[in-house]
Amino acid sequence: MLELREVRKHFAGIPAVDRVTFNVHPGEVTGYLGPNGSGKSTTMKMIAGLMEPTDGEILYRGQPVRSDLIGFKRVLGYVPEEAHLYPHLSGHEYLTLVSQLREIPAKVAGEKIDGLLRLLSLTGDRHSPISNYSKGMRQKILLAAALMHDPEVILLDEPFSGLDAATALILRSLIQELARRGKVILFSSHELETVERVSTRVIILHRGKVAADDSIASLRNLMALPTLEEIFVQLAVEEDMAAVSRGIAELIRRQDGSLEQGPAV
């Protein structure tokens, strides 16, 4: 089980993540939701060891991950929010690099890489530099890199970003399959419909704090709202969305630059 206990992250005294506590159990897909800037990616980075919490503890199997960070990284698969890859390497070379860093035996790694590239329809472009790849192709490389060592803990930060419809469906199915195999999966996405279909449980973050942490069914019952989207709007969206839309449309229509009353954005 992955546990976060009172985890805080402050930047120059301003809290980005504020006393976040939750558990992610093996075999369940936990959706991690929140508007932009709510602290989702910061939480993911803290779990992945890329960032140190200001306060609080992150535990895996009851042990603080920072007590054996290298050991934790061995069982961790992480897809970051943005597809930053080394552009001068080919997809194949990048995955080889990752396999070597993860000390996967060369023969096994070779088979896995070839197989993953084939299944993700990247075989034809495997020797092209990543700088030439489309956003979706880069996302596929990230997914392959995160999963190739059969991790126990999987952090997926916007994994559907840029993926074509077919691959997105495959990934949705894959996440559920991995959960069935007992993986610990924390999964963040802005596609609420997908989260609703894939996740067994959701955590909604608002201004760095946990606004809700329960199964989707419980939340529906508790809040008497039919969809996850409406629950999310209720808990994490402060703006009047209709008013914001009208404000934007009004703003871009103006020609003379005189703005008597600012839009509500």
Partner 1 sequence: MNSIRVLYRHFLFRIVDLDALAPLADTHKLLGRVAFVLVMLSLTFVVQAFTLGSISNLPAQVGLVLAWAGEHFLIATTMLVTGILAVLSWDSTFPTKRDLDVLGPLPVLPSAIFAAKAAAVGSALGLVILLLHAIPGLIWPAVLHSMSKEQPVLALTYGPRIPVPDIDRLKPVLDRSLADALRPGGALGTESNGGLVIGVADRGQRRVFAYGSAKPETIFPIASVSKTFTALMLARMATDRRTSLNEPLRALLPPGTVARPGGAEITLLDLALHRSGLPAMPDNLKIASRDGPAIDYGIGKLFSFIGGHGVSKRGTPAFDYSNVGYALLGQALAQRQGVSYEELLRREITDPLGMRDTGVAVNDSNRERIIPGRRLRGGTAKPVALDSLTPAGGILSTAGDLLNYIEAQLKPDAAIALSHRLRADMAPGYKMGLGWIHSSAHGVYWHNGGLPGYSSYVFFHPGRGFGGVVLLNQGPEFGTLGDLLGDHLRARLAGEPAVSLDSVTIPAPGGFTGVLRYAAAYWITMICGGAFVFFAILAVQGLAMQLLPWPWFLKASSVMQLTILCILLGGSLLQPALPGPHVLVRALNEGPLYWSPSYWFLGVFQQLAGSPALAPLAWRAWTALAAVLLIVAVSYLLSYWRTLRKMAEAPDIVPGGKRRHWLPRFGSPLATAVAQFSIRTLMRSRQHRLILAFYWGIAFTIVLLVTKSPAIQKRLGAGDNVWTEPNVAAILASVLVCWFAVLGARMAAVLPIALPANWIFRASPVPGGVRTLAAVRRALYAMGPVQVWLVFALLFLSTWPWRAAAGHLVLLALLTALAAEVSLLKFGKIPFTCSYLPGEGRSPLVFFVYLFGMLYQTQVSALHLWLLENPVWLAVAAGVLLMVIAGVYWWNRRKAEVNVEFEDEPQRTIVALDLSRDGTPLR
Query: Which residues contact partner 1 (rule: CB under 8 A)?
Result: 11-14, 16, 48-51, 70-71, 73-74, 76, 78, 80, 82, 84-90, 93, 96-104, 106, 125-129, 132-134, 145
Nearer to partner 1, 187 or 232 (CB): 187
CA 7 to CA 151: how far, in whole Å?
A: 23
Beta carbon of residue 218, minimum distance to partner 1 (angstroms, whole number):
33
What totals of helices (H) and strands (E) does the chain contain, helices first?
10, 10
Beta carbon of residue 114, minimum distance to partner 1 (angstroms, whole number):
12
Nearer to partner 1, 92 or 201 (CB): 92
Beta carbon of residue 127, minimum distance to partner 1 (angstroms, whole number):
3
Q: Where are the beta strands (DSSP E) in the chain?
A: 2-11, 14-24, 29-33, 55-60, 63-64, 76-79, 153-157, 184-188, 201-206, 209-215
Instruction: Decide if 192 contacts 158 (C-beta within 8 A).
Output: no
DSSP, collapsed to helix, strand or coil, labels residue 214 as: strand
Beta carbon of residue 179, minimum distance to partner 1 (angstroms, whole number):
21
CA 22 to CA 6: how far, in whole Å?
A: 9
> How far, in whole angstroms, is CA 66 from its chain's centroid?
21
Instruction: Decide if 174 contacts 140 (C-beta within 8 A).
Output: no
Nearer to partner 1, 100 or 221 (CB): 100
> Tokens in use for 190?
């802005």
Nearer to partner 1, 125 or 164 (CB): 125
Beta carbon of residue 74, minimum distance to partner 1 (angstroms, whole number):
5
Nearer to partner 1, 78 or 187 (CB): 78
